[in-house]
């Protein structure tokens, strides 16, 4: 009987560890980072670069691989819209001193649904890693128009 109780106890511990592993696994690569990509630089002060996507889970962080070409003084305005490119703005922030290839932006709690992430108002050298069309639930945008055959690398996560 003690052996059975011990085995059941181990099984319960193992199951609880599995749920912890799954709970910690909350990052989704909407458009995965790839070596087969190229940077698109945002140089027009009135221009924009964006990516439309479907969030299959709640999230509160957007991670954008944005090249700064090694500078430490680049920046941009980040905008997150719900319901796509012409939807309601749910988050906006001016980012200064952007980290090369890794902008991590806390956007507050967002639910499942259609979104649009955009960068605008460039400061210094800023761009967005872009690759061939691999995501069929959204599109890359430039200056408010879809860019056929392209997607911009985008990651969402829920951080507790």
Q: Where are the domains of the chain?
A: 29-157
- Find the helix or strand (DSSP H, E) in which 128 lies: strand 127-132
Query: According to the model, what pLDDT value does residue 35 have?
Result: 87
Query: According to the model, what pLDDT value does residue 29 have?
Result: 96
Q: What is the pLDDT of residues 109-131, one digit of tens each?
A: 999 999 999 999 999 999 999 99
Q: Are 92 and 119 contacting, i.e. CB atoms less than 8 angstroms apart?
A: no
pLDDT > 90? residue 107: yes
Q: What is the pLDDT of residues 38-95, one digit of tens each?
A: 999 999 999 999 999 999 999 999 999 999 999 999 999 999 999 999 999 999 999 9
Residues 6+ apart with CB under 8 A from 59: 26, 28, 107, 110, 156, 157, 158
Tokens of 33: 């980072």
What is the spatial distance between Cα 1 and Cα 114, in angstroms, rounded to a whole number? 54
CATH of 29-157, one of 3.30.450, 2.60.120, 1.10.3470, 3.30.300: 2.60.120
Query: According to the model, what pLDDT value does residue 5 have?
Result: 43
The pTM for the full model equals 0.83
Query: According to the model, what pLDDT value does residue 77 have?
Result: 98
Instruction: Outline where the chain has alpha helix (H).
Output: 2-24
What is the spatial distance between Cα 53 and Cα 14, in angstroms, rounded to a whole number? 35
């Amino acid at each position: 009987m003690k052996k059975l109780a011990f085995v059941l106890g181990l099984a319960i511990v193992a199951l609880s560890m599995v749920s912890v592993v799954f709970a910690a696994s909350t990052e989704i690569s909407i458009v995965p980072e790839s070596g087969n990509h190229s940077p698109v630089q945002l140089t027009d002060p009135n221009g924009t670069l964006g990516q439309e996507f479907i969030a299959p889970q709640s999230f509160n962080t957007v991670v954008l691989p944005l090249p700064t070409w090694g500078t430490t003084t680049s920046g941009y305005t980040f905008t997150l819209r719900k319901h796509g490119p012409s939807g309601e703005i749910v988050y906006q922030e001016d980012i200064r001193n952007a980290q090369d290839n890794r902008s991590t932006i806390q956007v507050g709690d967002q639910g499942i649904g259609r979104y649009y992430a955009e960068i605008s108002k460039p400061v210094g050298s800023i761009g967005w890693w872009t690759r061939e069309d691999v995501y069929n639930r959204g599109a890359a945008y430039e200056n408010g128009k879809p860019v056929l055959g392209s997607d911009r690398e985008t990651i969402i996560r829920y951080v507790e």
